[in-house]
Every structure is written in C-alpha cells, then in structure tokens.
Amino acid sequence: MVAPRRTDIASAWYSASFNVGIAGGPLVGGVVLSTLGVRFNPLVGGVLVLLGLVVVIVESRAAPPPIAAR
C-alpha cells in the first residue's frame, strides 16, 4: 500500500489486518473443531493457505509494473 502523506492510515490498515488474522484463525479453527472434528483442522488450514497463495499470485500478476527510478 502506498500512502506518501498518510503513513498513519497505512499503519492503521496494517495493524487492523494483523488483528483480523489473529482473531480469525482461532475462530475458524474453533468452528471447524466443533462442527467437523479435529481431523479436519489441518485440511481446512491447508485450504486457507492455498487460497492465500492464489490471492498473492493473482495480485502480483494484476499489479501495474513499477515506475522506473529517475
């Protein structure tokens, strides 16, 4: 994220996304554990990792090329 004059906003987004990850992991794990059982936790975790990799790959291919330094 580029925010040349608003570094406080960029820092807030970073902190908020980190906190969502901290809260979301145990939430998903608890739901999977209570509904599907302990054997499915690694499977769901692997699926989430694969989804994250897909997002990273798609985002890196969709991003515009960097501006050359002058």
Instruction: Give yes or no for a contact between 49 and 25, defined as CB atoms under 8 angstroms apart.
Output: no
Which pLDDT does position 27 carry in this prediction?
93
Quick check: 69 pLDDT over 60?
Answer: no
In a domain, 70, yes or no: no
pLDDT-derived band at 68, boundaries 50, 70, 90? low
In a domain, 12, yes or no: yes
Choice between 1 and 36, residue whose per-residue pLDDT is larger: 36
In a domain, 55, yes or no: yes
In a domain, 67, yes or no: no
In a domain, 69, yes or no: no
Dist. CA 11–CA 17, nearest whole Å: 10
Predicted confidence (pLDDT) per residue in 24-47, tens digit: 989 999 999 999 999 999 999 999
Cβ contacts of residue 2 below 8 Å, gap of 6+?
10
SS3 category, 7: helix
pLDDT-derived band at 6, boundaries 50, 70, 90? confident
Number of domains in the chain: 1
Quick check: 16 pLDDT over 90?
Answer: yes
Instruction: Give yes or no for a contact between 40 and 32, defined as CB atoms under 8 angstroms apart.
Output: yes
